[in-house]
């Protein structure tokens, strides 16, 4: 222990400094009670402890993740591979069925007679090597680090975290100076402005006009029912904010009334001009205006998302520029992409608006910038303030919420000739990520040295920003990219012009998919029509549920109803809905199923029904009577007591049918009429797997008139009509049952050429598409790969042309070994290499209690459908694979 003291003549104060090294940790009490009367005794005890604790004790505060950042190999004092037993030994066994690794330890246990007998106890191993153990612990540490960063809002803030304030309205589009034609401009045409969609108005005034119109106000505007409604972004739309003053209800005048302020739209420039007449009309609603705005430009119009609007036309996209409103530069934010393998910027971010990431050689010179704009509308990459790449896939976008954080990564690599950039979504537990965008710049590298983050109109929260090795990031290619030679590269279809890096510029026409990606086609599909730009296949229905001759849509005149929505029918008054007044009236059109009809009924459809049919005078009143078209006969089941409420008819329609409507004729008996029923479907025959399609509880009793019910859609071969209630709980008496639909989906895989990576004996790939669903392997209609197992075995079928795949049904073995298929992947695309095609979903599991498993693929397109078992030592056996599709599409470019 050392001690020093001193005093200051000017302040008349003194201080004592104590230095302690070695001894018991309780020496801290000496320091705390240095001036206490018991100091001598404590000091003496500490002196005695020095021989026991000769080394100084160093303590520091840190996070749990720092504590876990250690060399785990030091936990094992010898080469653990040489261990005779244990999880890291070479004597591990594999448990059948689960595939889990284990070793056995002998132990003595009491048997039923009280005698100690030897028994081997299984001990399972989660890790089979020190490397796997270390990798798993590193993942847990990374997950802990990110959890601390994201969720611990109090306490010390890491230097990698910061907050960026949003800019004023319209700040991201201030750089929009060049216009690229009707599809590339950021402002709408007058016809677009009045089509019922939402657009943006950005005011630029010397002062505020009213509470709703401030000098830099940004407002959303909608024209509906001949009135203009403005509302602030994020605010609720109110009817009282609808105006039509100043002649703005007459679309020929090209006038807009926003919060009562009338302006004339100058379509050539996308700006709003106030005429003297507009000034007068506004004054009548807003009273005294701050000044005379006549002949002044006061605002400009924009698409809500210029990029999203223009993504269909790659040439026009080059005209769009959206730049960050606020950028934060620092000497700490440096990156060296010229190093071997490049570098990746990993970060976690949240924002209700755009997230900008900027890379630059000279930050002040924007011609040396690459910047990415990440939003919930899409992802754009710019070079030198010029758009060079756009990705619209929904899974590539931001979450669009200030409280929802998501990890991202952007990798750059520069060599002597090119610059490679890839963007993706990161993982919460590892450095693995999903790549959605790849861009290769063939011009000489800029020499990027700095990176930074920027905000748009909304605040941005950045966390855990750090630079990692470029090749340290394990990637999976998504969106419009595929793996080639270990790298994600752009995947473009022959229907696209591949010489443009902005997007897959279509030779003929383009369809915008539901996930935001674009698809090139040689002709617009049946549900779309060429829009006014001559390129885009526009929608045939409107957002305001109007339809018919008086309400055209961008892709159809008359406007139609969305067949994928609950409101599929257009009434004679021009409204979309699902009632009888919408679907079955004179002049009504059902767009859910334009080719649907009331099915020609066949009594052989009935394969089962509840109870024993009543017989009278030699006539059997069975369930087939509901399909005979004779209102004089009816179904009258017997054999169950009152309030049974589970009377059903099982139908086999022979082929899968899509049903959208059902009709019943009651007996007109208030005791036996149906008042409630449920319609169910099954993709497989007995044993069935019933799924509810619709339930109805408003069937009218006391009438034998036909009653129709719609508002549902289901596809299956097997159907069950279950009566769940009659007025007094007696058995039902039903005269007629009618079904409305179409045999829509076809098994396009049946009889097609199939392949598999290996074949055991005669169990070839073709047996999975021979139409035989017998799941007993010994019946000879199942495939089988190499019996000893192989890594990643796969099977594929060539459909001969590209189809839109709705679902894939798989029949596995039921005599044994069903679990071998779990887990499995389904790949759909135009490559004959199974793993190169996009996945339908993720890892799927066969339901061991059902004869088949149906996987929905939601309209994925492709010529090849493949099934792959990931992992080593896998055996692939398929008894039948059915691929159901409604349409073929020979031209396909999945959006890039």
Lowest mean pLDDT among 202-206, 707-711, 837-841: 707-711
Does 313 score more than 80 pLDDT?
A: no
User: What average pLDDT does this structure show over 784-803?
Assistant: 91
Same domain (yes/no): 724, 765? no
Segment among 328-342, 465-479, 489-503, 639-653 with least mean pLDDT: 489-503
pLDDT on residue 56: 60
Q: Do residues 610 and 739 both lie within one domain?
A: yes
In a domain, 152, yes or no: no
**pLDDT at 614 (0 to 100):** 94
Read off the pLDDT of each residue in 55-67 and give the average, rounded to a whole number.
68
Last residue of a domain, one of 691, 708, 743: 743
Q: Which of 687, 716, 743 is the last residue of a domain?
A: 743
291: tokens are: 């000044």
CATH code of the domain in which 785 resides? 2.60.120.260
* Alpha-carbon gap, residue 887 to 869, rounded angstroms: 28
Q: Where are the beta strands (DSSP E) in 288-363?
A: 296-303, 326-328, 343-351, 355-360
pLDDT of residue 163: 85
Strand partners, 342: none
Residue 60 has pLDDT above 70, yes or no: no
Whether pLDDT at 717 is above 50: yes
Of 20-34, 297-311, 436-450, the least confident = 20-34
* pLDDT at res. 142: 84
- Measuring CA to CA, how many Å separate 515 from each of 393, 491, 501, 687, 860? 5, 17, 20, 36, 11
Instruction: Let me know if residue 573 belongs to a domain.
Output: no
The yes-or-no verdict on residue 155 having pLDDT over 50 is no
- The verdict on residue 179 lying in a domain is no
Q: Residue 706, SS3?
A: strand
Are residue 649 and residue 668 in the same domain, yes or no? yes
Residue 427: which residues within 8 A CB-CB, separation 6 or more? 407, 433
858 and 788 housed in the same domain = yes
What are 350-378's pLDDT values in tens digits?
A: 999 899 999 999 988 888 899 999 988 88
The DSSP bridge pattern shows strands 460-469 and 343-351 to be antiparallel
Contact 606, 649 (CB under 8 A): yes
Is the per-residue pLDDT at 893 higher than 60?
Answer: no
881/773 same-domain check: yes
What pLDDT is attached to residue 119?
84
**Residues 288 and 318 grouped into a single domain:** no
Q: Is residue 503 part of a domain?
A: no
pLDDT digits (tens, 9 = 90+) for 673-683: 999 999 999 98
Torsion-angle region of 457 (φ positive above 0: left; ψ -120 to 50: alpha; else: beta): alpha
pLDDT of residue 23: 57
pLDDT range class, residue 894, cuts 50, 70, 90: very low
Tell me the chain's radius of gyration from C-alpha atoms: 36
Can you give the pLDDT at residue 766?
A: 93
* Average predicted confidence (pLDDT) for the chain: 81
* Residue environment code for 719-731, b if the CB has 16+ CB neighbours within 10 A, otherwise e: bbbbbbebeeebb
Assign 220 a pLDDT band (cuts: 50, 70, 90): very high
**Which pLDDT band holds residue 262 (cuts at 50, 70, 90)?**
very high
pLDDT in tens, 497-531: 554 444 455 666 777 665 555 667 766 766 566 66
Q: Which residue has the higher pLDDT, 394 or 523?
A: 394
Q: Which two tokens stand for residue 309?
A: 């609007």
pLDDT (tens digit per residue) in 566-619: 788 888 888 998 776 787 676 788 776 665 678 888 888 999 999 999 999 899
Q: Tens of pLDDT along 859-886?
A: 788 999 999 999 999 999 999 999 987 5
Residue 524: inside a domain: no
Kindly state whether residue 581 falls inside one of the protein's structural domains: no
Verify that 729 and 779 share a domain, yes or no.
no
* Structural domain harbouring 72: 67-109+116-141
Of 307, 342, 358, the residue at which a domain comes to its end is 307
More confident residue, 560 or 514: 560
755 vs 107, which has greater pLDDT?
755
Whether residue 189 sits in one domain with residue 278 = yes
Confidence at residue 619, expressed as pLDDT on a 0 to 100 scale: 93
Name the strand (E) or helix (H) holding 262. strand 261-266
CA distance 289 to 415: 61
The answer to whether residue 791 scores a pLDDT higher than 90 is yes
**Percent of the chain whose pLDDT exceeds 90:** 31
CA angle 341, 344, 350 (to 5 degrees): 170
Average pLDDT of the residues in 470-487: 65
Query: CB-based burial of residue 710 (10 Å sphere; 0-12 exposed, 13-18 middle, 19+ buried)?
Result: buried
Clarify whether residues 648 and 755 are in a common domain. Answer: no
Instruction: Give residue-wise pLDDT tens across range 727-780.
Output: 999 999 999 999 988 766 678 898 899 999 999 988 999 999 988 888 888 888
User: Higher model confidence: residue 389 or residue 538?
Assistant: 389
Q: Which two tokens mark 575?
A: 């409204």
Q: What is the pLDDT of residue 374?
A: 93
Counted domains in the chain: 6
CATH number where 440 lies: 2.60.120.200
Would 867 be classed as within a structural domain? yes
Q: Output the pLDDT for position 298.
A: 93
Task: Say whether pTM exceeds 0.75.
Answer: no
Residues 751 and 730 in one domain: no
Q: What is the pLDDT of residue 366?
A: 85
- Residue-wise DSSP of 84-107: SSSTTSS--EE-TTT--EEEEEEE
| 186-202 as b/e: b if 16+ CB within 10 A | bbbeeebbbbbbebbbb
Is 397 in the same domain as 443?
yes
Which of 839, 842, 788, 782 has its CA nearest to residue 810? 782
Report pLDDT for 174: 62
Q: Any idea which residue has 């090294």 for tokens?
A: 21
Band of pLDDT at residue 888, cut at 50, 70 and 90: very low
**pLDDT of 34:** 59
Considering the domain architecture, whether residues 752 and 737 belong to the same structural domain is answered as: no
Assess if residue 258 is contained within a domain: yes
């Amino acid at each position: 222990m050392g001690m020093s003291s001193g005093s200051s003549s000017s302040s008349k104060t003194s201080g004592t400094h104590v230095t302690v090294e070695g001894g018991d940790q309780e020496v801290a009490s000496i320091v705390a009670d240095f001036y206490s009367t018991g100091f001598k005794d404590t000091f003496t005890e500490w002196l005695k402890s020095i021989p026991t604790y000769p080394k100084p004790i160093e303590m520091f505060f840190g996070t749990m993740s720092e504590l876990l950042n250690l060399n785990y190999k030091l936990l094992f004092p010898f080469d653990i591979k040489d261990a005779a037993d244990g999880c890291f030994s070479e004597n591990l066994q594999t448990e059948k069925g689960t595939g889990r690794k284990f070793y056995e330890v002998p132990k003595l246990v009491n048997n039923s007679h009280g005698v100690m007998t030897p028994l081997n106890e299984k001990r399972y191993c989660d890790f089979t090597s020190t490397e796997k153990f270390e990798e798993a612990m590193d993942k847990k540490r990374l997950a802990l680090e990110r959890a601390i960063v994201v969720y611990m809002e109090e306490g010390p803030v890491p230097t990698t975290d910061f907050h960026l304030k949003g800019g004023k309205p319209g700040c991201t589009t201030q750089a929009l100076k060049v216009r690229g034609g009707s599809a590339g401009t950021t402002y709408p045409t007058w016809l677009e402005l009045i089509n019922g969609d939402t657009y943006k108005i950005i005011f630029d005034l010397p002062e505020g006009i009213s509470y709703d119109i401030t000098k830099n106000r940004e407002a959303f505007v909608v024209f509906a029912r001949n009135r203009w409604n403005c509302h602030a972004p994020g605010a609720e739309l109110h009817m009282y904010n609808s105006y039509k003053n100043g002649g703005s209800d007459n679309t020929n005048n090209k006038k807009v009334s926003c919060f009562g302020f009338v302006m004339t739209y100058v379509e050539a420039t996308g700006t709003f001009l106030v005429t003297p007449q507009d000034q007068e009309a506004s004054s009548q609603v807003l009273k005294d205006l701050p000044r005379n705005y006549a002949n002044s430009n006061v605002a400009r119009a924009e698409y809500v998302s210029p990029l999203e609007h223009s993504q269909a036309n790659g040439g026009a996209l080059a005209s769009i520029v959206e730049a960050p409103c606020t950028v934060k530069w620092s000497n700490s934010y440096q990156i060296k992409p010229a190093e071997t393998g490049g570098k990746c910027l990993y970060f976690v971010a949240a924002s209700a608006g755009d997230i900008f990431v900027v890379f630059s050689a000279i930050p002040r010179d924007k011609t040396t910038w690459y910047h990415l704009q990440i939003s919930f509308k899409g992802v754009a990459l710019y070079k030198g303030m010029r758009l060079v790449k756009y990705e619209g896939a929904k899974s590539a976008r931001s979450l669009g919420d200030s409280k929802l954080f998501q990890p991202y990564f952007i990798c750059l690599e520069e060599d002597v000739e090119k610059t490679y950039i890839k963007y993706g979504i990161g993982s919460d537990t590892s450095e693995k990520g999903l790549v959605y965008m790849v861009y290769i710049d063939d011009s000489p590298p800029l020499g990027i040295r700095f990176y930074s983050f920027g905000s748009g109109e909304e605040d941005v929260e950045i966390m855990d920003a750090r630079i990692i090795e470029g090749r340290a990031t394990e990637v999976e290619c998504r969106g419009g990219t595929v793996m080639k030679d270990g790298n994600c590269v752009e995947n473009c279809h022959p229907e696209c012009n591949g010489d443009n890096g902005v997007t897959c510029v279509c030779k003929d026409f383009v369809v915008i998919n539901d996930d935001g990606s674009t698809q090139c086609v040689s002709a617009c599909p049946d549900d779309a029509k060429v829009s006014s730009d001559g390129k885009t296949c526009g929608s045939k229905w409107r957002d305001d549920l109007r339809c018919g001759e008086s309400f055209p849509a961008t892709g159809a005149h008359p406007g139609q109803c969305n067949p994928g929505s609950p409101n599929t029918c257009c009434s004679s008054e021009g409204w979309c809905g699902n009632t009888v007044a919408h679907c079955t009236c004179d002049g009504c059109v059902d767009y859910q199923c334009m080719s649907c009809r009331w099915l020609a009924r066949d009594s052989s459809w009935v394969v089962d029904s509840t109870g024993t049919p009543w017989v009278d005078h030699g006539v059997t009143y069975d369930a087939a009577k509901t399909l005979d078209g004779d209102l004089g006969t009816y179904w009258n089941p017997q054999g169950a007591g009152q309030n049974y409420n589970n009377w059903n008819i099982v139908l086999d329609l022979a082929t899968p049918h899509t049903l959208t409507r059902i009709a019943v004729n009651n007996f007109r008996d208030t005791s036996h009429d149906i008042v409630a029923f449920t319609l169910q479907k099954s993709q497989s025959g007995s044993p069935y797997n019933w799924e509810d399609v619709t339930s109805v509880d408003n069937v009218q009793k006391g009438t034998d008139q036909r009653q129709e019910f719609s508002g549902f859609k289901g596809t299956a071969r097997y159907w069950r009509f279950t009566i769940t209630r009659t007025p007094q709980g007696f058995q039902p008496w039903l005269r007629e049952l009618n079904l409305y639909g179409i045999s829509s989906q076809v098994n396009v895989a049946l009889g097609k050429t199939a392949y598999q990576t290996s074949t055991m004996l005669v169990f070839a790939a073709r047996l999975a598409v021979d139409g035989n669903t017998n799941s007993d392997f010994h019946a000879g209609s199942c495939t089988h790969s190499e019996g000893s197992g192989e890594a990643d075995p796969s099977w594929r079928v060539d459909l001969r042309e590209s189809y839109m795949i709705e679902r894939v049904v798989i029949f596995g073995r039921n005599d044994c070994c069903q679990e071998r298929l779990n887990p499995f992947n389904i790949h759909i695309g135009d490559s004959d290499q199974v793993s190169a095609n996009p996945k339908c979903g993720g890892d799927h599991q066969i339901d061991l209690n059902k004869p088949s498993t149906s996987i929905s693929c939601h309209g994925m397109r492709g010529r090849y459908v493949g099934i792959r078992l990931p992992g080593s030592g896998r055996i692939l056996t398929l008894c039948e694979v059915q691929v159901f599709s409604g349409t073929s599409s020979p031209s396909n470019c999945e959006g890039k």
